[in-house]
Amino acid sequence: MAIRNTEELSGRSAAAVASGAIADLGDHHDPTTDFQLPPGSEPEARSQWQLFWRRFFRHKVAVAAGLVLIALYLAVIFAPQIAPYELNPRLDAATLLQARHGPSGKHWMGTDELGRDQMTRILFAGRISLMIGLIVALVSTALGTAVGALAGFYGKWVDQMLMRVTDLFLVVPGLAVLMMAQKGLAGKQILGHRFSSQGLIILILSFLYWQYIARVVRGVFLSLKEREFVEAARASGASSFRIITRHMLPNTIGPIAVNTTLVVGLAILTESTLSFLGFGVQPPTVSWGNMLAQSEGAVGTPQAYLVYFPGLAILLTVLAVNFLGDGMRDAFDPQSHH
Amino acid sequence: MTDTPMGDARVLPDDRPSPTTPVGDAVLSVRDLHVSFPTDDGMVKAVDGVSYDVFENEVLGIVGESGSGKSVSSMAVLGLLPPSAQITGQILYRGTDLLALREKDKLKLRGSKLAMVFQDALAALNPVFTVGGQIAEAIRIHNPDWHRAQVRERTIALLDLVGIPNPAARVDQYPHEYSGGMRQRAMIAMAISNDPDVLIADEPTTALDVTIQAQVLEVIERVQDRTNSAIILITHDLGVVAGVADRVMVMYAGRPAEIGTVDEIFYETRHPYTLGLMASLPRLDENSDGARLHRIKGQPPSLIFVPTGCPFHPRCEFARLPEPCSTEIPPLRQIDTVGHRSACHFAEDLREVGRKDLLMSAEESMAATVAEDPAHGVAE
Amino acid sequence: MLTFIVRRLAYSIPVIIIASALVFGFTRATTDPLARLAQSRDAAELLPRERHRLGLDKPLVTQYTRWAKDFVRGDWGQSFISRRDVKSEIRDKLGNTVQLIFWGILFSASIAIAVGVYSAARQYSALDYTFTGLSFLGLSMPVFWFALMAIQFLIYEPTVLFHLKQPIFLSVGLHSANDHSLVDYLRHLTLPVLTLSVQLVAGWSRYQRSSMLDVMSSDYIRTAKAKGVTRRKVLLKHGLRNALIPLTTVMAIDIGALFGGLIITEHIFAWPGMGRLFFDALLSGDTNMVLPWLMVTAVFIIGFNLLADVLYGVLDPRIRLS
């Protein structure tokens, strides 16, 4: 299942995640017991991947979701090439004549009060939203994996530290804190660098989400530590670094991949929410969230279409991410077949 | 082979098409039962042609490794298999085919005439209800007109019968407050609460330590003295069966390998698999010092790709290959005495093979397989 | 059980203290109490004086202990903007938020439990797939967009379509200016409750479904069936009773988060509750309001987490009696 939005439920999604159930609140599966890859022996490892793909491709919805996501990313990457109009056309009479036109063959998603083509804007806004989602997921995965692996491998005080620190994140209302951070840090120098509004949001969201990944990785590591192949590697004199990178991390790929995917969706949702409230990506940079903030007033007017499409874009993206994550989890871990 | 099985009530039909009515006064007759489950990798044939009878006041032991179909066949009797299970054959309770019964009528029999004691009583008892409450529920379902006090009195009496100390106080405790042995007794109390005709005990002693095992088996025997139930005792442990059962069915790969009285199975063994099981039993009276226990080599077969011919042939020390053992399925046929049946092409030849011989040959084969993983032994 | 509660309570105290210190530091780092003053004409003259008066020139630790002392004593200060007492302001707004939370969880819990039980009873049925699909939709839904769509399609479109004199539902505030009837209250309540329930229903129903499926595959359910218990009773007595234990704890944790988590709903529907209070305070730089607000919501979150643990013990005799 999907990670919840930080949205209305900030504290909660964090709590669910913290209990090691980020990938699925429902299955009381310890994600730690799920991955039974053999000790990295080549042919068997390969067949595990074959098994993964076989099971994944059986999951029709997840395959479709993956294709939708690929299409979305391609569309926004090539936005300058495929967008039918200019993002910011010159405000001359010809453009303004096109203002407030509903969806038509000429403007599939209509135009706004300045005559700007909505589809073009959505494509360009998608670059920002999808990029933020991807970068936040990658940064928090890198950070979370490193911390989680160390905590799970060494245990003791390292582990205690991680758990206590992440506990503290759980007791504050997430969205409120994000808003404060965004407002307080906007325009300030951080580490000698002045971040753009989208750079800042990447920084702040990564700082929030790394702990989800860390908790998951820690859980898997704790259980892997007791397994024979790790004992065997240790007995044969392998260094800690080698055991972590060669023996344990490969067996953690499943849960990491699933949760990285889900963080993409979570980050996109949270970014759009913050931008909608005015605490995220700032104009003139367009994101789906601040497009909605600008057209909020169109609700209840003939221009309500301005509100439909950016929201649908967010919904479609996050839905695809969540279905993909769900399918991946099923494929990595067929037991959780609820 | 040529004996005519006339007159004896405890005779099972040969592998000819099964008769539709039970023979003699059997309480429960299973006829040509097949159970398979669809899985991602193919059909699992968990039970592949099983027939047996159980009679009043009798204990039938069903023995086999895990995956031999012993539990699945008994779950089929109670109708507890998941809907995905494909079941054919007949399960006749006093002449009524349970598989053809409507769910409503099955519910009436379940827990009253047919009851079951499960393995691992801690998991099998609901943690959020008291033990007494769970037994009382079993009573109330089948006696809806009883008063509260009546039900409670009966519940306490049942706990007393199975040997729970201070039952009047224990009745209101939760399962986790009981010891392992007591939980298993409470399970038995629940199962016999409506004096069942057929009591199926599925590995009732597996999770318990040896002294408690003996006590629980004793409770089962005591219960039978009172209720005259037909008892089916499912176990992987021949030792348990030796002490309690009247007759034994040994199962392998979803099929019966050998059926007979306890004495026949133990002293006139006519199937190599039974021999193997027995040789792997620890004995105090012979070759006690230093002698290793015999292990049946290899592993239980996959139930999706069952070996051709005799399913046991890849592990059999007496197999003649390729013919007939790997080409022809040996029928379950009568050997020596009426009621003693074996599914081995060379059952008669096993007369010559004493248990000692097997142990000798086992010692030799042991030398060869000594490096093998100990998990490959026969015990589960 | 009592020792368990006491121990758990004792653990919460250091958590609250550390959280309060962090919240204090974080607020000082991100909001400037003097930001408004700095824009005034004679800022150069006023700023140092104000800074000294508020103790902002002292070390952070001193500031914290001073603030913490006042906070515990009940002196939460005044709002910079409204000049009202912060404590009574928060108390008022809390009451309005509790109304939303109450109706929201009532609505969400009943639907989630029903859906969960149904889906577990008829796993892989068409309706089960539908519920699963809908829950994915709910979990992927941007809440603010759902609220806008709700206003569009439940207020404006029906009004136009059926030529209504006034809309069925209302989207601004708690009640109309001169109408305090129950009907008016419900017309205001419906949309915010619906909005905050989207994720609760989706999350809880999915959770309850897995929880039920988990329970229904356990040995004691098989035992109940073997006793001759009817399907319905197996599901509703043996199944639901056990499956409600994890759901209850998840619900308790979620409810705690709602006290500080309704920012969007209250912002869009102009609901005078905690979320809107925070939003307005943050926008206007009202530090005196933001800091106690964070503390109060943190205490609610910690308190409901504690409640979740206690409920688990109450509902599960294995924990209650050990």
| Tens digits of pLDDT across chain C (322 residues) | 778 788 888 888 888 888 899 889 888 888 877 777 777 777 777 778 777 777 777 888 888 888 888 888 888 888 877 788 888 899 999 999 999 999 999 999 999 999 999 988 888 889 999 999 999 999 999 999 999 999 999 988 888 888 888 888 888 888 777 877 888 889 999 999 999 999 999 999 999 999 999 999 899 999 999 999 999 999 999 999 999 999 999 999 999 999 988 999 999 999 999 999 999 999 888 888 999 999 999 999 999 988 988 888 888 888 776 6
CB C23 within 8 A of CB C31: no
Q: Which of C123, C213, C220 would you mutate first to test chain B, the one with the most B CBs within 10 A? A: C220
Put simply, the answer to whether C226 touches B123 (Cβ < 8 Å) is no
- Average pLDDT value for residue range B77-99: 90
Comparing alpha-carbon positions, the chain A residue that sits nearest to C262 is A8
In a domain, B3, yes or no: no
Does residue B86 surpass a pLDDT of 80? yes
In a domain, B231, yes or no: no
pLDDT digits (tens, 9 = 90+) for A251-293: 888 889 999 999 999 999 999 999 999 998 888 888 999 999 9
Does residue B18 surpass a pLDDT of 60? no
Higher pLDDT, C157 or B150: B150
Q: Rounded to whole angstroms, how far apart are CA atoms C127 and A126?
A: 34
Q: Give the end of a domain, one of B194, B225, B243.
A: B194
Q: Give the end of a domain, one of B194, B221, B248.
A: B194
**Band of the pLDDT at B295, cuts 50, 70, 90?**
low
pLDDT digits (tens, 9 = 90+) for C174-196: 877 787 788 888 999 999 999 99
- Half-sphere CA count of B129, side-chain side, radius 13 A: 22
Higher pLDDT, B335 or B160: B160
Task: Walk me through the domains of chain C, giving residue ranges and CATH numbers.
Answer: 2-321 (1.10.3720.10)
Ranges A45-59, A233-247, B57-71, most confident = B57-71
Put simply, the answer to whether C22 touches A168 (Cβ < 8 Å) is yes
B125 shares contact with chain C (CB less than 8 Å): yes
C128 shares contact with chain A (CB less than 8 Å): no
User: Structural domain tally of chain B?
Assistant: 2
C207 shares contact with chain A (CB less than 8 Å): yes
Does residue B204 surpass a pLDDT of 60? yes
C318 shares contact with chain B (CB less than 8 Å): yes
In a domain, B279, yes or no: yes
C 148-187 → A contacts, CB under 8 A:
148-149, 151-152, 155-156
In a domain, B67, yes or no: no
Q: What pLDDT, on a 0 to 100 scale, did the predictor assign at position C263?
A: 93
What was the ipTM of the complex prediction? 0.90
**Nearest-neighbour CA in chain A from C195: distance (Å):** 9
In a domain, B249, yes or no: no
Does residue A10 surpass a pLDDT of 50? no
pLDDT digits (tens, 9 = 90+) for A103-155: 877 777 777 777 788 888 899 999 999 999 999 999 999 999 999 998 888 87
Q: Give the end of a domain, one of B194, B218, B236.
A: B194
Comparing alpha-carbon positions, the chain C residue that sits nearest to B192 is C227
**Nearest-neighbour CA in chain C from B141: distance (Å):** 7
Percent of chain B, pLDDT > 90? 34
Q: What pLDDT, on a 0 to 100 scale, did the predictor assign at position B380?
A: 34
Average pLDDT, chain A: 79
Q: Rounded to whole angstroms, how far apart are CA atoms C239 and C215?
A: 6
Does residue B60 surpass a pLDDT of 50? yes
Put simply, the answer to whether B124 touches C219 (Cβ < 8 Å) is yes
pLDDT digits (tens, 9 = 90+) for B316-361: 877 777 778 888 888 888 887 778 888 888 877 777 665 555 554 4
Percent of chain B, pLDDT > 70? 82
CB B245 within 8 A of CB B59: yes
In a domain, B200, yes or no: no
- Average pLDDT value for residue range A162-166: 82
Does residue B119 surpass a pLDDT of 90? no
In a domain, B319, yes or no: yes
In a domain, B287, yes or no: yes
Q: What pLDDT, on a 0 to 100 scale, did the predictor assign at position A26?
A: 33
Expressed as residue numbers, the domain containing B337 is 269-369
CB C251 within 8 A of CB C244: no
The answer to whether the predicted template modeling score (pTM) of the entire model surpasses 0.95 is: no
- Average pLDDT value for residue range A35-46: 40
Percent of chain A, pLDDT > 90? 28
